[in-house]
Amino acid sequence: MSSLIPFWYIIITVLWTGFFILEGFDFGVGMLHSAVGGDEAGRRAAINTIGPLWDGNEVWLIVAGAGMFAAFPGWYATMFSAYNLALVLLLASLIVRGVAFEYRGKRDAARWRRTWDVLLIAGSVLAPLLIGVALAGLLHGLPINSAQNFTGSFWVLLQPYALWTGITLVLVCALHGATFLCLKTTGDMRERSWRLARRVAPFTCAFVIGFVIWTHVTAGRGFFLNLIELLAILAVLAAVWLVWDHHEGFAFAATAVTIASCIISIFADLYPNVMVSSTNPAYNLTVDNTASGGYSLKVMTVVVIIFLPVVLAYQTWTYYVFRRRVSKQEFQPPAPSSEAAPKPGPAPQPTSPPAAPGS
Distance (Å, rounded) from C-alpha 271 to C-alpha 197?
A: 34
81 makes contact with other proteins (CB under 8 A)? yes
- State the chain's maximal CA–CA distance in angstroms: 77
Which residue of 146, 303, 333, 334 would you call a contact of other proteins, by CB under 8 A? 303
Which residue of 314, 336, 337, 340 would you call a contact of other proteins, by CB under 8 A? 314
Which residue from 323, 349, 355, 340 is spatially nearest to 49, judged by alpha carbons? 323
Query: Which of the ranges 93-101, 157-165, 205-213, 228-236 carries the binding residues for other proteins, by CB under 8 A?
Result: 93-101
Amino acid 57 reads N
Query: Which of the ranges 22-30, 147-155, 167-175, 176-184 carries the binding residues for other proteins, by CB under 8 A?
Result: 147-155
Which residue of 42, 65, 128, 177 would you call a contact of other proteins, by CB under 8 A? 65
Distance (Å, rounded) from C-alpha 27 to C-alpha 49?
A: 12
Which residue of 311, 327, 332, 351 would you call a contact of other proteins, by CB under 8 A? 311
| DSSP for 50-106, written as a single string | HTTTHHHHHHHHHHHHHHHHHH-HHHHHHHHHHTHHHHHHHHHHHHHHHHHHHHGGG
**Smallest separation, CB 84 to other proteins (Å):** 5
Nearer to other proteins, 63 or 262 (CB): 63
Which residue of 38, 56, 122, 199 would you call a contact of other proteins, by CB under 8 A? 56
Distance (Å, rounded) from C-alpha 349 to C-alpha 106?
A: 12
21 makes contact with other proteins (CB under 8 A)? no
Query: Which of the ranges 34-42, 75-83, 124-132, 272-280 carries the binding residues for other proteins, by CB under 8 A?
Result: 75-83
Quick check: helix, strand or coil at residue 286?
strand
29 makes contact with other proteins (CB under 8 A)? no
Query: By CB under 8 A, what part of segment 240-299 binds other proteins?
Result: 292-293, 295-296, 299
Quick check: helix, strand or coil at residue 146?
coil
Amino acid 3 reads S
